[in-house]
Structure 1
Amino acid sequence: MTGLGLVGAPVAATAAPARATYENPVSASFADTFADPSIIEAKDGWWYAYSTADPLRAGDEPGVMHIARTRDFVSWQYQGTVFDETNRPTWATPTSGLWAPDVRYVDGRYVLYYTVTDTTLDPGDADSAIGVATSPSPTGPWTPSDAPVVAPRTRPGTDPAARDFLWTFDPSGFTDVDGQRYLYFGSYNGGVWATRVSEDGLTATGEPTLVAIDNKFEGSYVVRHDGWYYLMASSANCCAGPTTGYSVFTGRSRSPMGPFVDEDGISLTASRAGGTILVTQNGNRWIGAGHHALATDHAGRDFLVYHALDRDDAWLEEPFGITKRPMLLDRVDWVDGWPRTRAGAGPSDTPQPAPVTGSDLGLTPSDPAARGFRGLRPGPRDIQSGAAGRVRGTARTTQDVTGSSVRLRLDVRGDRPLEVRLGRGQDQVRVRVDERAARLTVRSGSGRSTLTRTDDLGLRGDGWRTLVVEVDRGGVLAQLSEDDLGDPFAEVRLTDRDLRLRSAPLRLRSTRAVVDNVSVRRLAVEADRLVPVPQRGALIRAEDFSGPLADDDWTWVRRDADATVASGQLRWPLQAADLTGESNNAGVLLSDRTPEGTWIAETKLDLDLGEETVRNFQQAGLVAYRGDDDFARLSSVAIWNTRQTEFGRELVATSDGRTSYGGAIVGTPDAEMWLRLAHTTDAAGEHLYRAATSRDGKAWTWGAVWAFAPGTSPRIGLVAHGGDTPALTAGFDYLRFYRTTWPAVDGPRS
């Protein structure tokens, strides 16, 4: 999240130990479900993850938000729960859910925000609110506040007595470079909001601002990267078992209060809401990837911590009906200014390089005075950090820092200035943290010039600070934060194109500063381009609707006599019918010439669903159809006040024949748009369909993948249904099939 954006070939740097690997789900050793994860690197050198209040395994009691920890993201230890009967918030009803924790380090203590689904503040049900608890330790004891940080809210303009409560869910904290603290919260019923909070993080102040539209986004998380504020939020149903299509989308802004727009400049508050895909399912075992947090490793690479479902094992057996959502981990690449999970490849189900933890140079980060430094004295044993080091005069590492791209991370405490030096002579970088003067200063010397940049500290306090210094050839970035969660309260960027660090020890200079968790690593090398996507090849066949539908080209499922061909279009009035659940009364027009092999099906759709008004659930588009209870539908659809493109899946989900429907959201819709389904079969014989949408027929957004079982024969068709009020007609210009390739990005399973 710090973000000098080093890309391309790695450079020579400090020697590093062999890289460990992990495999998803990372929570498997202690939990089958660990949903809505939040994570922090605590001052004791461990990473702590927190989850929502589900049973860890089948048959377990739900638990009131779980805690686990790791040092390397490979081995994990369960640490118990946040709350129990002794410290449960008194203003939460006994049956209230306590969901979606978000952890921060604020002014010397840990602060945990969480959702309370039902409070005692109103006699009715579902008056959700945001709670907050504090602790000196990441494992507690946690002390809940006596009142919500964000109280229950009713819909603006309605009678409060009607108790039409908005979903005040899914909190996420953030601290800006000026020291102002924010809290993001909200969900489908009401949208995502941002509010300022007090310096201690416990009280909302001022009026909240809508930053993402209702009925599309929840589970928000905000980071600052390269001067931009990125709002990342989940979309679609989190918990539809084997048809869960949950995904995460991103918008960015120059202000933490928005407006946030996607890579096409479309706002997250528009009725045809934007959103650049951060993670979505790719055809391997994992579906429903979402509700995330970000962690930055010691090499400066960001990792997405999120939950997902195994599509072949989506439910807890006892109690049935709770989705099994284990915790996953995957790297994030910042490509052209946008975060992408594995450069767009999506969730991993093969061994992956683990986050870089620990330090080079022979240092022991959690006890920096133990070895690797000369002149660093043992410091006072801190209740939060444990063993620490005290800098009196100059301390230097016994090994040199080499190479031109390095990352230093350390925690510092005390009101005495601390100076950090990397390199030597004119080819060095000096960073000075001065709490008394409230200044963060970076100085770079190269050749005969010296460059200096300074930023005021946005916060003052007695707690630990985390200093990060990244040097990437001619760029220097220094950040001071409380928790290294992408929300620094001071930041300095300096460009010195002549800078080349000379090999030298890392030097720390102060009169009494205390330091801990000192890490020096080669700066991570990120991917600088997205993984390949299917490309349209040679035309296989086309139906351009230049004449009547031929019986040897098309088959109707429930023929609709109102569908006609005129002026080069299939004109199909939307039916008051559907395919989901037990309805199964909508017409489906199937192509009799669906090709074999790997191909793309494409159509151009004219369907003006308007904006803002409620037209549930008028839609039209493409369908991969095996039957009324086994299909994947890509459509432009009205969902309450929003307009979305949904790639929905229905299948028989239980042994007694019950169906499940869920969907993944793809790109932004328009009155005129293009839809694609790319098809392949994998080594196991499964049919994989990946969806794409476009608003101009040229730039395409490729989204989620749905799978059909081996041995089936889905056919491609068209649909137009969801309601006939107001009367609307979908226009299809053509249905064409093209050759393509399915790029190997390790997504589809073999």
Structure 2
Amino acid sequence: MNIKTIILTTATVLSVNIQAQSLRHTDIPATDTLMVHDPVMAFDGKRYHVFSTGHGIQHAISNNRKSWTLAGPVMSVIPQWTHDSVPGFKKHVWAPDIIRHRGKWWMAYSCSTFGKNTSAIGLMSADRLEPGTIWNDHGAIVCSKGKRDNWNAIDPNFVIDGNGEAWLAYGSFWDGIQIVRLDTSMHIAKGEKPHTIARRKTDGNANPVEAPFIFKHDGYYYLFVSWDYCCRGMESTYKVAVGRSRHVAGPYTGPDGKDMNEGGGLVIFEGDKKKLEAAGHCAVYRFDNEDIFICHGYSIARNGASILIEKTITWDDKGWPVLK
């Protein structure tokens, strides 16, 4: 499948209480040459929606995943609790995730400041995804605090296990990727505590692993993560690795059996140094009877600007994903 690009312009925060204002997204011409960062995707039965990092969470809509229309930011009002919980956080919301579960749409999002692990993952819900949708604020799912926690509450990913229970994977650097079981309100279940499912110690104490996404296929849970460094344009070194487990809570291992807690995993996508310098922060879905992989990549032609990548997943004879 050809690479598709989504460029999301820096926009003024316009969204919710949490309530999204009605946006005249049809006034913006559809295009397939737009930029995005930390993308996730949803299909509402009519159209595809991409949500991504940006002021108030950026949003784009498509009928065919080829031509996209900007829909404006999702949030016009950032909840006050986010500012109270994360000093320095204002309106640049990172790395959302979106899932349909128990009859409604749930969106998690990251509130943080660069290089610090005093962070929070917020939660909101809605009945639909159209611009003008009213999103309900459900506060924080989980918070981290510097000098208290050795993990970072950003980069959320929802996953539903084989019993219909919801889990949240999250994390960036520090002690790596965490997972925890949620209750029916999509908050951490009573008595549950997060535990680490992927680490990658390099350069002394650095642990460059983040942005988990768990996808179930043929009896396995596949944990996709990003290794190395994002957000540096042409200096970025991002790449995507994957491991798998029979159990949503792990342990996850690579093809050689090495635990992802010990740096295991198979690199399946990275910059080719021709079109992309680096690529990462992925999501995986089954749409239209095919498995697809999306992420952002740092475009060489655009001097390191971040563009949406979409590729088809096939599976090799041992059950490992191959990108086409």
Distance 1:64 1:314, change over 3 A: farther
Q: What code does the residue aligned with 2:160 have?
A: T
The alignment partner of 1:242 has SS state of: helix
Other-structure match for 1:212: 198
Deviations 1:517-565 (A, max 9, x none): xxxxxxxxxxxxxxxxxxxxxxxxxxxxxxxxxxxxxxxxxxxxxxxxx
Other-structure match for 2:101: 106
Other-structure match for 2:291: 302
Distance 1:126 1:71, change over 3 A: same
Runs of 5+ in structure 2 lacking a partner?
9-30, 201-206
**Mapping of 1:304-383 within 5 angstroms?**
304-315=293-304, 324-335=305-316, 336-342=318-324
- Over aligned residue pairs, what C-alpha RMSD do you find? 2.1
Other-structure match for 1:39: 41
Cα pair 1:26 1:329 within 8 Å, conserved: no
Cα pair 2:180 2:188 within 8 Å, conserved: no
Q: How many angstroms does 1:141 deviate by?
A: 2.0
1:242 aligns with 2:234: yes
Q: How many angstroms does 1:340 deviate by?
A: 1.9
Q: For 2:89 and 2:177, how far apart are their aligned partners in 1?
A: 25
Q: What code does the residue aligned with 1:213 have?
A: R
Q: For 1:259 and 1:195, how far apart are their aligned partners in 2?
A: 13
Q: 1:141 aligns with which of 134, 159, 163?
A: 134
Q: For 1:209 and 1:92, how far apart are their aligned partners in 2?
A: 24
Cα pair 1:167 1:189 within 8 Å, conserved: yes
The alignment partner of 2:65 has SS state of: coil
Q: For 1:287 and 1:302, how far apart are their aligned partners in 2?
A: 25
**Mapping of 1:4-19 within 5 angstroms?**
none
Other-structure match for 2:269: 279
Other-structure match for 2:216: 224
The alignment partner of 2:234 has SS state of: helix
Deviations 1:151-210 (A, max 9, x none): 2245xxxxxxx4566321100000111111100011112210010001232344411121
Matched length = 285
The alignment partner of 1:326 has SS state of: strand
Q: For 1:164 and 1:182, how far apart are their aligned partners in 2?
A: 20
**Mapping of 1:536-547 within 5 angstroms?**
none
Cα pair 1:109 1:135 within 8 Å, conserved: yes
The alignment partner of 1:187 has SS state of: coil
The alignment partner of 1:199 has SS state of: coil
Q: For 1:191 and 1:289, how far apart are their aligned partners in 2?
A: 19
State which drifts further: 288-297 or 21-30.
21-30
Runs of 4+ in structure 1 off by over 6 angstroms are none
Distance 1:314 1:64, change over 3 A: farther
Q: For 2:261 and 2:149, how far apart are their aligned partners in 1?
A: 21
Cα pair 1:101 1:113 within 8 Å, conserved: yes
TM-score (norm: length of structure 1): 0.36
Q: 1:128 aligns with which of 111, 119, 123?
A: 119
Q: For 1:190 and 1:31, how far apart are their aligned partners in 2?
A: 37
Distance 1:311 1:22, change over 3 A: closer
Q: 1:170 aligns with which of 155, 172, 178?
A: 155
Q: 2:179 aligns with which of 151, 176, 194?
A: 194
Q: For 1:31 and 1:50, how far apart are their aligned partners in 2?
A: 16
Deviations 1:561-585 (A, max 9, x none): xxxxxxxxxxxxxxxxxxxxxxxxx
Q: How many angstroms does 1:284 deviate by?
A: 2.2
**Mapping of 1:372-521 within 5 angstroms?**
none
Q: How many angstroms does 1:280 deviate by?
A: 1.3
Other-structure match for 2:253: 261
Runs of 5+ in structure 1 lacking a partner?
1-20, 54-62, 119-124, 155-161, 316-323, 343-750
**Mapping of 1:552-567 within 5 angstroms?**
none
Q: For 1:202 and 1:314, how far apart are their aligned partners in 2?
A: 40
Cα pair 1:127 1:165 within 8 Å, conserved: no
Cα pair 2:37 2:52 within 8 Å, conserved: yes
Q: What code does the residue aligned with 2:82 have?
A: A
Q: Percent identity at matched positions?
A: 25
Cα pair 1:277 1:340 within 8 Å, conserved: no
Deviations 1:675-733 (A, max 9, x none): xxxxxxxxxxxxxxxxxxxxxxxxxxxxxxxxxxxxxxxxxxxxxxxxxxxxxxxxxxx
The alignment partner of 2:180 has SS state of: strand
Distance 1:311 1:222, change over 3 A: same
Q: For 1:251 and 1:295, how far apart are their aligned partners in 2?
A: 17
